[in-house]
Amino acid sequence: MQGKEHDKTKQPGVLRGLSGKVLLLTIIFVMLGEVLIFLPSIANFRIQWLKGRIAQAEIAALAAEAAPDQILSTDLRSEILMGAGVLVVSLQKGESRKLALRSDGDYMIDASFDLRSTMWYGAIMDAFGAMWADETRVISVTDVPPNMSGDLIEIALREQPLRSAMFHYGFNILLLSIFLSLLVAGMIFAALNWVLVKPMQRLTRNMVDFGQNPEDFSRIIKPGTRRDEIGIAERELHDMQTELATMLQQKNHLAALGLAVSKVSHDLRNMLTSAQLISDRMANVEDPTVKRFAPKLIGSLDRAIEFLSQTLKFGRAQELPPRRERLGLGELVDEVIEAAVVKTPSRIVIMNTVPPGILVDADREQLIRVLTNLMRNAIQAIESSQAERRDAPDGEISLQARREGSVTVIEVRDNGPGIPNQIRERLFQAFQSAARQGGTGLGLAIAAELIRAHGGDIQLQSSTEAGTCFVITIPDQVTQLRTGRNGDRRTSRKA
């Protein structure tokens, strides 16, 4: 159907196979985990760095405070500030705010941060802000003084050193993450590979291998001792393969047997045909004994030949898939009855009670064969019971039908003697159900096969001494919608 046949023997490529997928997924998830760790850790790094600066600045401020008369030379002041790495320190105690130290030069505060009230997501945003921001940014930071020298400390500083420290830190973390991801991904991959992928590959390889020659018992999987799902799968597969291989072997034997039977039947039929020719001439002999037995002999031969012909036909016949169309069932039944009436004794009436307008979606020839078969069975049954008992009632056979939703239901009913109990079980199995003389037990088997090929069913609804009723159900074909691709439409119906 599809243009591209897939090559079963080929294992999927590394990236399309299970192991590739597992590897990719582990790397992605470990990376994701690393990112989730990285975000808070870079934010924390920045805060700790700033807190360090604040601590230094506080000490610097305290030192300045301790200077005699609190007056410092300009040089000393810038030295102290430079040592602390800040531009301005301001300590606040109570209500009195006092500027402790301030270095020379002009600068504008570009951004202010208050470490006392920063939430975690704010800290993450600020960290990214710092890495993104302009190199020359000057920021001010407010916090509680770590040495408790006041209520509030505020510093101003150039952000550049913080930025480069963060980049440095980030780079280290990145290297570490890559190393860790590879390590963890590698370990997870190895574990999954060992626990899942390898056994899975073993299973698929075995399935493909077995599929290529399912009759080879040595290709059946040898199940391991695992107790998990894979172990179960292996054992189930093992059972299935064993069963299949056994069945195939059996089928081969049966096929060979069938072939032998058909050869025998063929030869036997030819021999019987010669016997028939001879016995035909015996019918003309005037001897009264011969005259008495000749018709019986001829009858037996006829039946034997018919039996063999049927058997041969069944062995050869590969029923074609039904070529379905919508048919008027009433007209079709008329046709079947007309063909049968010629050979029907006068004490049997066949009635067509199919309501007009009933349609059936079926192969015309095959449905005719099925109905003819059922009808002929009924005729034969009635005929033989009438031959046995003079008082048997007149025969009546009726064919009726109805629609149930999208299903056509056909009933073939007769008032014959009923089906013998011992063959009811195997009525639809070939060669199993012949109860009458000369019957092959093929008729119903073939009928069932044909109906099942239509997705339908044939069943014995009832069979008593007062009559028999067979029911056939044939569902309408599901209309195949256009599939869009040219060419595929042809699969719905033979042209």
Ligand X SMILES: Nc1ncnc2c1ncn2[C@@H]1O[C@H](COP(=O)(O)OP(=O)(O)O)[C@@H](O)[C@H]1O
Shortest Cβ 466–ligand X spacing (Å): 11
Residue 428 makes CB contacts below 8 A (sequence gap 6+) with 444, 445, 447, 448, 458
If the CB atoms of residues 332 and 397 are measured against ligand X, the closer one turns out to be 397
Q: Is 399 in the site for ligand X (CB under 6 A)?
A: no
Unique residue bearing structure tokens 């015996």: 282
Unique residue bearing structure tokens 């599929």: 211
Interface residues for ligand X in 416-475 (CB under 6 A)? 416, 418-419, 423, 433-436, 439-445, 468
Shortest Cβ 375–Mg ion spacing (Å): 10
In the list ligand X, Mg ion, none, the entry touching 440 (Cβ below 5 to 8 angstroms by class) is ligand X
Q: Is 443 in the site for Mg ion (CB under 5 A)?
A: yes
Shortest Cβ 340–ligand X spacing (Å): 13
Cα 279 from Cα 267, distance rounded (Å): 19
Unique residue bearing structure tokens 């999927």: 12
Strands 138-143 and 407-414: unpaired
Output the residue with the shortest Cβ distance to Mg ion.
443
If the CB atoms of residues 113 and 428 are measured against ligand X, the closer one turns out to be 428
Shortest Cβ 400–ligand X spacing (Å): 15
In the list Mg ion, ligand X, none, the entry touching 435 (Cβ below 5 to 8 angstroms by class) is ligand X
Q: Contacting Mg ion (CB under 5 A), which of 19, 140, 352, 377? A: 377
Exposed, middle or buried: residue 172 (CB in 10 Å: 0-12, 13-18, 19+)? Answer: exposed
Cα 244 from Cα 116, distance rounded (Å): 75
Q: Is 311 in the site for ligand X (CB under 6 A)?
A: no
Are 152 and 173 within 8 A, CB to CB? no
If the CB atoms of residues 49 and 431 are measured against Mg ion, the closer one turns out to be 431
Phi then psi dihedrals of residue 447, to 5 deg: -55, -45
In the list ligand X, Mg ion, none, the entry touching 436 (Cβ below 5 to 8 angstroms by class) is ligand X
Shortest Cβ 433–ligand X spacing (Å): 4
Are 149 and 62 within 8 A, CB to CB? yes
Shortest Cβ 423–ligand X spacing (Å): 6
Shortest Cβ 419–ligand X spacing (Å): 4
If the CB atoms of residues 214 and 418 are measured against ligand X, the closer one turns out to be 418
At what angle are helices 120-132 and 18-66 packed, to 10 degrees? 90
Q: Which helix (H) or strand (E) holds 470?
A: strand 467-475
Shortest Cβ 219–ligand X spacing (Å): 40
Shortest Cβ 443–Mg ion spacing (Å): 3
Q: Nearest to residue 55, comparing CAs of 117, 161, 148, 120?
A: 148
Q: Is 395 in the site for ligand X (CB under 6 A)?
A: no
Q: Contacting ligand X (CB under 6 A), which of 381, 399, 401, 450? A: 381
Q: Which range touches Mg ion (CB under 5 A), out of 126-134, 280-288, 293-301, 373-381?
A: 373-381
Number of H helices, E strands in the chain: 11, 12
If the CB atoms of residues 100 and 397 are measured against Mg ion, the closer one turns out to be 397
Are 424 and 377 within 8 A, CB to CB? no
If the CB atoms of residues 145 and 467 are measured against ligand X, the closer one turns out to be 467
Which pairs count as long-range contacts for 200-205, CB under 8 Å and 24+ apart, including other chains?
200/18, 200/230, 201/11, 201/17, 201/18, 201/19, 203/230, 203/233, 203/234, 203/237, 204/11, 205/11
E-strand ranges in 237-311 read: none
If the CB atoms of residues 325 and 394 are measured against ligand X, the closer one turns out to be 394
Are 196 and 18 within 8 A, CB to CB? yes
Are 203 and 230 within 8 A, CB to CB? yes
Phi then psi dihedrals of residue 92, to 5 deg: -125, 130
If the CB atoms of residues 153 and 444 are measured against ligand X, the closer one turns out to be 444
Q: Nearest to residue 431, comparing CAs of 311, 344, 264?
A: 311
Shortest Cβ 452–Mg ion spacing (Å): 18
Binding mask 164-203 for ligand X (x = CB under 6 A): ----------------------------------------
Q: Which range touches Mg ion (CB under 5 A), out of 1-9, 12-20, 330-338, 370-378?
A: 370-378
Interface residues for ligand X in 32-71 (CB under 6 A)? none
Q: Is 414 in the site for ligand X (CB under 6 A)?
A: yes
If the CB atoms of residues 220 and 448 are measured against Mg ion, the closer one turns out to be 448
Cα 375 from Cα 289, distance rounded (Å): 37
Are 136 and 160 within 8 A, CB to CB? yes
Which pairs count as long-range contacts for 421-425, CB under 8 Å and 24+ apart, including other chains?
424/460, 424/463
Alpha helix positions (H), 92-159: 120-132
Residue 218 makes CB contacts below 8 A (sequence gap 6+) with none
Q: Which range touches Mg ion (CB under 5 A), out of 135-143, 235-243, 428-436, 443-451?
A: 443-451
Shortest Cβ 325–Mg ion spacing (Å): 26
Catalog residues that contact ligand X under the rule CB under 6 A. 373, 377-378, 381, 414, 416, 418-419, 423, 433-436, 439-445, 468
Catalog residues that contact Mg ion under the rule CB under 5 A. 377, 443
